[in-house]
Chain A
Amino acid sequence: MSPIKHKTIRMIKDKIFLFIVGALTLLAILPLFHIIISIIEKGLPIVLERGLTFITGTLSEGGIGPAIVGTLMLTALATIIGLPLAFLAGAYAYEFPNSFIGRATKMLLQIMLEFPTILVGTFVMGILVIPMGTFSALAGALALALILTPYVAVYTEEAMAEIPRIYKEGGYALGCTRAQVIFKVITKMAKKGILTGILIGMAKVAGETAPLLFTAGGLYEVYPTNPLEPVGAIPLLIYTLVQSPSIEDHQIAWGASLIMLIIFLAIFIPIRYSLKDDIKL
């Protein structure tokens, strides 16, 4: 084979390669646009038709108000339960990265991050719902807290690890104790990273369905008031409505998906953009 011909073949291979890489990248991100367009196309008409009723009304009035309040309630409760635990565990993993307990904690948190969420739901059902005899917002929030904790802990640990060592040394040189250095100096400096972790964790659990299946119960006709009683949530409502045979229910499910998508994107995109500088390229 002549050298020229060989070179042409290599060049053609190169072109084909570039084309495939570009095309597959496009294919990888295409579903997101398809999802957003389909949800807007199917969800917008119903939301516009019902107007404010869709956001504030109960299910029989054709709205998803109680579900929205339920999601807010569950997320807030889950944050209250999970946050202290997560912050302290993250701080510990940061302070003792080389000790056995520190390493084991970090490993455990990363494993919990990938833990099948449905198993958390059935676990909480076994330890809380069955003894209490009723589904409750508390049980749902506990299940969500178990999912939130590793997220926030890992983010806390990573945010703290990025603070230069010199600040820690400065703190000790001034005579601070370990607790003062970590909780007063490092925490304040890593504030942005920790807050980001908390928000991402909250956004994550607000969209979870599986852990709520057997814990929250569902409540769509009245607004939830008591955390010891069943409560609804938007993802749970969508899951129930999708399985129903009626077209009317499907429409509400699309509308609810649109509301959820908007809330999710409104929280997620600004956070992600604020972290833009952290991306390594």
Chain B
Amino acid sequence: MDLKKLLRKIDEFKIITLPAIFIVFILFVLILGFYFFNALPAIERYGIDLFITNVWKAAEEPAKEVYGLAAPIWGSIYTATIAVLIALPLSICYAIFVNDYAPKKLKYPLIIISDIMAGLPTIIYGIWGAFILVPLLRDHIMKFLYEHFSFIPLFDYPPLSGYCYLSAGILLGIMVTPFAAAIIREAYAMIPSVYKEGLVALGATRYETTKVLIKYIKPAIISGLILAFGRALGETVAVSLVIGNSFNLTYKLFAPGYTISSLIANQFGNAVLYEYMTSVLYSAGLVLFVVGLIVNIIGLYYLKRWREHVSH
């Protein structure tokens, strides 16, 4: 009888699920520890220079190897910023249109189209970007801007191949727009309808109504864009196919560059040939890991707080 009582006290559910939770936590710690541990040799050797200089000298002799990751780190942030700047107007307009102005028949198709875009394999964006988007941008936009506006420093790099920061930024922008749009659309749909009714009753035009409502969901828009930024940072294959893959620490839009993830994708395969390169790439991974973690935590926290604020 006592044994039976004891057995009842033991929660089978916890016994079954806790190992899974344990594995998930351990995995996370293991990944973080793994990157940190593997990055250590490079960080010890090059110190802070590893992150603030732009050099890439691979050599057979370990003594001659010098690496600096400034260009890829800059490239990641730069392209993700371009992507967010593109996603910002597109995703907000999409959210407004779907919620308020789209005819009923168009609503579901629009939402499903955007969801398909969010889930589409990134390699499909990659092949389209490399063979279709890049030549299109080069011939119609970059050449025009270079010929007529090259007095602006942003545009004064000759767009020879078209594989550059701008192409990567635009492709990333297309890829993260549906992601940001889904968050903003949901937030927009959560606005209590009394606000809208009140505004309309005051005689506000549609433009004026929307202007006020957009202010109401500003926190959700910001968190959507932060999460989109995080996603753009981590994107690998599509970017590495269009960015041109060269070390270039510049703000010029038409210059080829590198991002952290495309650097890893390109160099990791032959890194074992060199003493320090693997460790340098793991340091790059660590940077991506930590930056991504911070960006995503801020975005998720902001979004959660906003949702709680609205539902109360």
Chain A residues proximal to chain B, CB less than 8 Å: 10-11, 13-14, 16-18, 20-22, 24-25, 27-29, 31-32, 34-35, 38-39, 42, 84-85, 88-89, 91-92, 95, 101, 104-105, 107-112, 114-120, 122-123, 125-127, 146, 149, 177-179, 182-183, 200, 203-204, 206-210, 213-214, 235, 238-239, 242-243, 250, 253-254, 257, 260-261, 264-265, 268-269, 272-273, 276, 279-281
Question: Judging by beta carbons under 8 Å apart, are A257 and B107 in contact?
Answer: no
The CA of A108 and the CA of B231, in the complex, are separated in Å by: 16
Question: Judging by beta carbons under 8 Å apart, are A14 and B207 in contact?
Answer: yes
With A88-B17, A89-B24 in contact, is A116–B115 under 8 Å at CB? no
Can you offer 12 A-B residue contacts whose CB atoms are under 8 A? Answer: A10-B207, A24-B97, A29-B110, A85-B24, A119-B264, A178-B13, A179-B16, A200-B119, A264-B124, A269-B112, A272-B116, A281-B107
| Cβ–Cβ < 8 Å partners of B112 in chain A | 269, 272-273
The CA of A273 and the CA of B208, in the complex, are separated in Å by: 34
| Cβ–Cβ < 8 Å partners of A108 in chain B | 24-25, 28
Is residue B297 within 8 Å, beta carbon to beta carbon, of the partner chain?
A: yes
Min CB gap A98→B, angstroms: 13
Question: Judging by beta carbons under 8 Å apart, are A92 and B116 in contact?
Answer: no
A-facing residues in B1-39 (Cβ within 8 Å): 8, 11-14, 16-21, 23-25, 27-28, 30-31, 34-35, 38
| Cβ–Cβ < 8 Å partners of B62 in chain A | none
Question: Judging by beta carbons under 8 Å apart, are B21 and A89 in contact?
Answer: yes
| Cβ–Cβ < 8 Å partners of B13 in chain A | 91, 95, 177-179, 182-183
Question: Judging by beta carbons under 8 Å apart, are A28 and B132 in contact?
Answer: no
With A24-B93, A95-B13, A108-B24 in contact, is A209–B122 under 8 Å at CB? yes
Residues 220-236 of B, flagged 1 when their CB comes within 8 A of A and 0 if not, give: 00000001001101111
Stretch from B49-57, B151-159, B248-256, B286-294 at the A interface: B286-294
Stretch from B67-75, B137-145, B173-181 at the A interface: B173-181
- Looking at chain B's contact residues, the main secondary structure is helix
Question: Judging by beta carbons under 8 Å apart, are B101 and A22 in contact?
Answer: yes
Question: Judging by beta carbons under 8 Å apart, are B38 and A126 in contact?
Answer: yes
8 Å CB contact of B97 from A25, A85, A207, A268: A25
A-facing residues in B111-128 (Cβ within 8 Å): 111-117, 119-128
Question: Judging by beta carbons under 8 Å apart, are B237 and A210 in contact?
Answer: yes
Closest Cβ neighbor of B288 among chain A residues: A116
The CA of A121 and the CA of B49, in the complex, are separated in Å by: 27
The CA of A101 and the CA of B27, in the complex, are separated in Å by: 15
Min CB gap B216→A, angstroms: 17
Question: Judging by beta carbons under 8 Å apart, are A122 and B285 in contact?
Answer: yes
Min CB gap B190→A, angstroms: 8
User: Which range contains the number of B residues in contact with the other chain?
Assistant: 35 or more
| Cβ–Cβ < 8 Å partners of A104 in chain B | 25
The CA of A28 and the CA of B113, in the complex, are separated in Å by: 10
8 Å CB contact of B31 from A85, A123, A265, A280: A123
Q: Tell which of B23, B89, B121, B233 has the most Cβ of chain A within 10 Å.
A: B121
8 Å CB contact of A91 from B17, B98, B231, B300: B17
8 Å CB contact of A84 from B20, B98, B120, B236: B20
Q: Tell which of A28, A29, A109, A112 has the most Cβ of chain B within 10 Å.
A: A28
The CA of A112 and the CA of B101, in the complex, are separated in Å by: 35
| Cβ–Cβ < 8 Å partners of B181 in chain A | 28
Question: Judging by beta carbons under 8 Å apart, are A32 and B120 in contact?
Answer: yes
Is residue B91 within 8 Å, beta carbon to beta carbon, of the partner chain?
A: yes
Q: Tell which of A119, A208, A214, A281 has the most Cβ of chain B within 10 Å.
A: A119
The CA of A91 and the CA of B112, in the complex, are separated in Å by: 28
Question: Judging by beta carbons under 8 Å apart, are A257 and B127 in contact?
Answer: yes
Question: Judging by beta carbons under 8 Å apart, are B131 and A28 in contact?
Answer: no
Q: Tell which of A111, A207, A239 has the most Cβ of chain B within 10 Å.
A: A239
Question: Judging by beta carbons under 8 Å apart, are B205 and A11 in contact?
Answer: yes
Question: Judging by beta carbons under 8 Å apart, are A117 and B206 in contact?
Answer: no
The CA of A27 and the CA of B126, in the complex, are separated in Å by: 19
8 Å CB contact of A18 from B14, B20, B206: B206
| Cβ–Cβ < 8 Å partners of B177 in chain A | 28
Question: Judging by beta carbons under 8 Å apart, are B119 and A20 in contact?
Answer: no
Question: Judging by beta carbons under 8 Å apart, are B121 and A264 in contact?
Answer: yes
A-facing residues in B180-216 (Cβ within 8 Å): 181, 186, 189-190, 205-208, 210
Starting from the known contacts A118-B264, A118-B265, A123-B34, 11 additional A-B residue pairs (CB-CB under 8 Å) come to A11-B205, A25-B90, A25-B98, A32-B117, A91-B17, A109-B24, A118-B234, A123-B35, A149-B24, A178-B11, A242-B127
